[in-house]
Structure formats: C-alpha cells, structure tokens
C-alpha cells in the first residue's frame, strides 16, 4: 500500500517505521523541519528502543521517506494515517486544531478516495462530526483506529497487540484489517466510529483507575502495617482482577493517561453525567506524587539545605519522556522548600533540563547525585537503580541516609541492613 503518515510524534514515527518494514511504501509528513531532517538522516529525535534501527532500515530499503507538507509537492497514497497531537486546552476541552489542519492538507494533496485512518486520540463523537462537517463533500473514507502503544515497548506493542480496533464502515474496516494489518496476528474488533473512540478513552481510564486503586490500598497498608507488594500479588492472583497495573508508587504520568483521564472527565461533565470515579482517580494520582515530600518533611524539620538525590526523571523507565512525570513536580517542590536537588536519569537528562528550574542540578551519574546527599528519592524504577552498589553508597551518603523508594523497586531488607532509613509506598512503614 501507499501510505502517508501525517504527524511524526511518537505514534507517527513508530507507524511509519513499522509499516515500511512490512513492505508498504510510506511517506512521513510533519511541519517541523528539524524533525524531518533528523528522520531523513535516520536519526530519531526521541528515545524508543529499536526505533532508530528500523527507521534506518526503512530509508535504506527505499520504502520510507520524510517530507514537509509543502505546497506543490505531489503525494500519492491509498491511506493517510493521522497521528497529530490533540492536547488539552486550559478549560479542559481537547484542542483539535492539528486534526483540522491534517484533514485540510489531506483534502488538498491526496487523491479523492484516500482512506483516512485517525490514530490521534479524539473525544467520542469527533469522527461523526468530522464526517458531517469536514468530509461531507468528499469521497474520503474515515476510520478511527486507536493505538495502544506503550512508550519503551512501542515496536513490540505494534507487532503483537492484544487487539486491533477499527471503527467505521464495515467494508472499509474489513479491508484495512487485511491490508494495513495483514501481518498482525491479533483479534480484531470492528465497530462504529464513536464506539472505537470510546474504547480508547475507556482503556486509558480503566488502567489509571487500577493504578489509583492500588495506590489508595498502599496508603491504607502503610497505616495498618500491611505490605502492598503481597496484597497486590494476592488480589492479582484472582483471574478476574489480574496482576497487571497493580504496582503501587508515585502514580501515573506520561502523554496519555493524565491527558485522557482529564479529557474524559471533562467530556462527561459536558454531557451531564459527571464522573465521580474519574475525578477520584485523578485526585489520588495528584496526591500520590506528594508522598516523598511529606515523608521528607516529617524526617527533617526543615528541608532548607537538605541535599536530596532524585533518581529518575522520566515518567517511567525505557523512555526519555518527562511529560507529566511525578519526578518533575517533586523536583520543583523540593527547590521551593529550600532543598538542594541533585537529579539523575539514564536517558531523560536533556528533556528534563529544558523544563526544570536551573536550581535543579542534573548529574551525569547516579553516584554523583547520591554521594554527599542526606536523602534519595527513587522516582523512576530504572533497572540501573536497582543494581547500584548500595553497600558502597551507604558510606558516601550523609546521615540519616534516607531513601524514599517511590516505586517499591529496591530491596527494603538489604537497605535497612546497610543502615539506610528506608520508606517505600505501602510497605507497612507507618504502622
């Protein structure tokens, strides 16, 4: 197939690279010239395991190219995949301006019977409205096809998804199932556009609900002296509940869960059925990232001059993405409270440096951050932090060698043995 991918953010770049590997002829379009230059030379402007190699291979095979949406250039495509951003507006609604821009461009540059595959997350009802108001005088086909890619595992998630969801006219969705996704061995759910849009939002509301639920349970565990690790395992062994997304910690961040839960909360109030459950999920998540600050405040009378090593800046391991990362709020609050913050992340140092206050020192190694610090907060569970030589670090940190393990990733017993003051999330430490 001839495919044009419009919008080369995280999802668009992955889509372009993987589809070119499957033998499709792919052109990636973006308005950002620097991005086009980077992709064209085979380098990826963000970190995603395996993606650079795939981009390079795609370009070398001749199946993949990148271009600015310049007027005058001819583009051929049977399918246009829209992967532009849909950010939240200040009042809570979703900003669809990039979606409108992409549709206008497709109408002007691609041939009349192109199938438009919307991958950008849009509020339920958007596709029907676009068909009524933007595409009514065209022969363009419109399908909503949500993506469920996790950062850090995007290639694997694309190639081995749990399901493929396609919303639209059954003749078009069936064709896409057997062309765009011919190589993917996964069940397909073909439905109408609005239900497909709702599936995306509901999935990105359900998983955060699990996370906020387990975090609430962890906070109770801390009060009653129970251990959330065992509690999560114990409830997860019930196949109706399952083990996934029951890791207690500082809560969820990233480009999807915070945005989509807020967008669905807003949409439900606009539609007159405000969601008490979603509001609580969001509130629990906002509170969760304050835990290390509260813990440090009760450990040290004042945080003024306290040296704190902040381990991890990315919103989760295996990415350099710091969007909505708990670590950023923690760093800003610590600075406001007068602490000296020494932060380190294996991949997200540059992305974090661009937005953190100058007062946050970004170190080149975890040891540089830890040595000479009174306290450490583990905010992202990079494997590197689990494997640190904690026995050596014990002698190089200052009393009270306080460790707040915000992801329950470290071995509590070993750290206590080494003389650290240890506090996890829901590991019974307040009992």
Who contacts 182 (Cβ-Cβ below 8 Å, separation ≥6)? 22
Least gap, CB of 61 to ligand UDX (angstroms) = 27
Q: Which is nearer to ligand UDX, 162 or 358 (by Cβ)?
A: 162
| Active site positions, annotated | 256
Q: What is the DSSP letter of 21?
A: H
What single-letter DSSP state applies at residue 45? S
The SS3 assignment for 143 reads strand
A 10 A CB-CB count for 350 gives: 12
Q: Which is nearer to ligand UDX, 26 or 199 (CB)?
A: 199
Interaction site with ligand UDX (CB under 6 A)? 147-151, 207, 211, 245-247, 249, 251-254, 256-257, 315-316
Q: How many CA atoms within 13 Å lie on the side-chain side of 57?
A: 13
Do 104 and 93 contact (CB within 8 A), yes or no? Answer: no
Strands (E), 145-201: 164-167, 188-191
Least CB distance to ligand UDX at residue 147 (A):
6
In contact, 288 and 251? CB cutoff 8 Å: yes
Neighbours of 21 (CB within 10 A): 20
| Residue with smaller CB distance to ligand UDX, 69 or 123 | 123
CA–CA distance, 186 with 181 (Å, rounded to integer): 9
135 vs 189, beta carbon nearer ligand UDX? 189
Minimum gap (Å) between residue 188 Cβ and ligand UDX:
17
Q: Are 281 and 288 spatial neighbours (Cβ–Cβ below 8 Å)? A: no
Place of tokens 């003024």: 304
Nearest to ligand UDX of 206, 419 (CB atom)? 206
Residue 151 vs 340, nearer CB to ligand UDX: 151
Min. distance of Cβ 328 from ligand UDX in angstroms? Answer: 12
Under 8 Å between Cβ of 8 and 35: yes
Closest separation in Å from C-beta 7 to ligand UDX: 15
- SS3 track for 51-93: HHHHHHHHHHHCCEEEECCCCCCCCCCCEEEECCCCCECCCCC
- Between the two ends of the chain, the Cα-to-Cα distance in Å is 61
Of residues 143 and 306, the one with the C-beta less far from ligand UDX: 143
Name the strands in the sheet holding 64-67, side by side, starting at the edge strand that comes first in the sequence.
64-67, 25-29, 2-6, 79-82, 115-118, 141-144, 164-167, 188-191
């Amino acid at each position: 197939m001839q495919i044009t991918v419009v919008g080369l953010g995280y999802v668009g770049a992955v889509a372009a690279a993987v589809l070119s590997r499957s033998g499709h002829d792919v052109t990636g379009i973006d308005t950002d010239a620097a991005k086009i230059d980077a992709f064209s030379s085979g380098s990826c402007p963000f970190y995603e395991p395996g993606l650079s190699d795939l981009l390079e291979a795609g370009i070398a095979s001749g199946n993949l190219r990148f271009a600015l949406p310049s007027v005058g250039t001819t583009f051929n495509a049977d399918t246009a995949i829209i992967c532009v951003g849909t950010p939240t507006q200040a009042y809570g609604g979703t900003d669809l301006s990039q979606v409108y821009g992409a549709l206008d461009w497709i109408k002007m540059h691609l041939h009349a019977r192109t199938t438009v595959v919307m991958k950008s997350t849009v509020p339920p009802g958007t596709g029907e409205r676009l068909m009524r108001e933007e595409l009514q005088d065209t022969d363009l086909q419109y399908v909503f096809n949500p993506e469920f890619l996790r950062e850090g595992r995007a290639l694997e998630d694309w190639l081995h998804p749990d399901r493929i969801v396609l919303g639209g006219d059954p003749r078009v969705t069936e064709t896409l199932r057997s062309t765009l996704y011919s190589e993917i061995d996964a069940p397909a759910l073909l439905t109408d556009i609005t239900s497909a849009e709702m599936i995306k939002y509901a999935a990105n509301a359900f998983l955060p609900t699990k996370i906020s639920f387990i975090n609430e349970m962890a906070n109770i565990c801390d009060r009653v002296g129970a251990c959330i690790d065992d509690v999560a395992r114990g409830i997860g062994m019930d196949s109706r509940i399952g083990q996934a997304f029951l890791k207690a910690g500082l809560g969820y961040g990233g480009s999807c869960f915070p945005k989509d839960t807020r967008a669905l909360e807003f949409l439900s109030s606009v539609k007159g059925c405000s969601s008490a459950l979603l509001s609580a999920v969001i509130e629990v998540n906002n509170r969760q990232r304050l835990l290390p600050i509260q813990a440090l405040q009760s450990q040290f009378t004042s945080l003024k001059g306290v040296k704190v090593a902040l381990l991890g800046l990315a919103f989760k391991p295996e990415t350099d993405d710091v969007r909505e990362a708990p670590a950023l709020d923690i760093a800003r609050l610590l600075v406001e409270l007068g602490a000296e913050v020494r932060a380190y992340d294996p991949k997200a140092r540059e992305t974090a440096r661009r937005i953190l206050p100058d007062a946050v020192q970004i170190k080149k190694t975890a040891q540089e951050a830890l040595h000479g610090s009174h306290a450490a907060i583990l905010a992202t569970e990079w494997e590197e932090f689990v494997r640190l030589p904690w026995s050596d670090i014990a002698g190089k940190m200052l009393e009270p060698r306080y460790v707040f393990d915000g992801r329950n990733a470290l071995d509590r017993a070993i750290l206590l043995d080494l003389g650290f003051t240890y506090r996890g999330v829901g590991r019974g430490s307040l009992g």
